[in-house]
A and B are shown apart, each in its own frame.
Chain A
Amino acid sequence: MIRDLVNRLHGQVQVRVECAFPERVMNLCAAHNLRFWDLCREDEHTFTCVLRRRDYRLLRRMAPRAQASVTPLRRSGAPYFFLRLRARPVLAVGAAAVGLWLMLGTFFIWDFQVEGNKTVPTETILRALERQGVGIGSFGLSLDGEDLRNRILLEIPELVWLTVNVSGCRAQVQVRERVTVPEGVDRSPPSNLVARRGGLVLEIHAFSGIKCVVPGMSVEEGQILLAGVEDTGTFGARTTAGLGEVTARTWHTLATRVPLLAQRKVYTGEKQALSLIFGKKRIKFFPNSSIEGRRYDKITTRKQLSFLGIPLPVSVERETFRFYETQRLSLSASDAAARGEQALTQYLRAVVSPYGEICSTRTDLRTLGDTLEVTLRAECEEEIGVTVPIYMSP
């Protein structure tokens, strides 16, 4: 491959040699150190081969000595390319300008890659960098990493370390987040543990405070489960923090109405718009592509261009507009029931999941004119205790 590249840089010519004794031409080439390759015999007196540009000239001069004729078939390589460009000066200047632009472009930052952040969003880090003057189009060689780190760490206290490494036109931002010390349980303020919702108590684990319920008891919302006030019998009442876990079986009833007439999207057409983004500048290819008064879904895809793995400061953005019209659609009872059940189950899961799990569900349906009433009844097991402070008069 490297040899092929060198040959192309020197320029190469594929020739057809006709001679009564082709071996004489080969020996002549070898004797004068004319390198040839890709030799292909066409018939008894003719063969084709490839030579370097300089060797071709020598062979052409020597060919009459071997009573041979040399015909060039194809010229390729850098010298011939530049010879062709001589007739098109604007193209040559354009190519040179692009090359210069690409070369200068590598001194600037055109892409950011943030690593090591889990809780701090990438956007926050990039905005902080931008406020410190490091953004798309900044000169990459003049970055003062230490100064930048000191400023960013003051601005984002969740970070403990930051470094910016510029490689080509990509800035790699590496961060380390602060590990927060977990908060300890504060047992000092007096509190009760009360029921968040009614249910049947299954298990009770008291860490502190007095148990007011036992497993098997049904409780109502707001009922004290673990009391923070203890009667000592001799010294009067003593206050403490009522802490513990109470698991109970609970029942939820949710209802919703689903209309039996719905609207459906019918796509009528599609339109695409392309734009090129240079850093922060956008060039639209379809300037008169404004869309008014029509309903559409807009899908935007952006792709950054790269050359041999090096990101270029150019992105291609494609916007696809999918136009639609709405159509009235009558839903069957089963479809409407499925929709209603799905919505209710989703809501129930959002309510119960932080505390426990859903054990079983049952759905009831009732038609009310143009709507279907869906009722979801669920049995769950969940943690129902919630700490409520005891306010004491000073």
Chain B
Amino acid sequence: METEELRKIANRVRRRDLQAVFEAGAGHIGGEMSVTDLLTALYFKTMSVDPQAPQDPARDRLVLSKGHTALALYVMLSERGFFPKGEISTFLKYGSRLNGHPNRVKVPGVETNTGPLGHGLPIGVGMAKAAKLDGAAWRTFVITGDGEMQEGSNWEAIMAAAQFGLDNLTLIIDHNRLQQGARLADTNDLAPLAPKLEAFGWAVEEIDGHDMDQICRALSAETVTAGKPKCIVAHTNKGQGISFMSDDVAWHHKVPNEAQYRQAMAELEEAAG
């Protein structure tokens, strides 16, 4: 798929996400806007998945470790055909299977139930190890937030992935520089991330996490270093695509009012062209 088409899908996903947050009166819109381009490239370009056979053993796996941005994943999965698009309107509604954090038992396409931070990468290590044991070609992708890298369990997994030589594992850090309460730099500053991962034995690439060409290239199998797990440090903006949200810590899980919703939607529609 051409990158121009991918950009259109990402824009459509952002608009649907914004509408769902507005209608539900809750969500994590900032981090959803920052991760949308990454998810779009994964589901519409890089990963081999079949919505008709979501449990196909040979499928590529994605673990959205920053599970609080589940809505972006839900919209993506529905766009990709894993369940009807209309179901997005049930997000957070009573009895809906689309709650605030993804559930693999209920939602087709979800690989593991995330929510508590620092869980996804260890699971990704196990997935990649399983593929290695079988000599299978499928790949494992894990997306974490940058604040999430403060969880020690990630570094346990980072050590193990290097030790096991898991070159079929790709970690994408959504590096939007903001965590729930404040900037990373003012909390527990992990930046720069790349040299830390390199020191742990990973192959690391830094990209603009909103540049679709860069994302697709970094995710392609050709850019893997044999014998090393790969980390993509994706420089992103929280609230990307919506001017008054972008790079503002207030929009971690704030809900737009009517006027803000209209402005945000107008901006996204204008970007859609």
A and B interact physically: no
Interface residues of chain B, those whose CB is within 8 Å of chain A, are: none
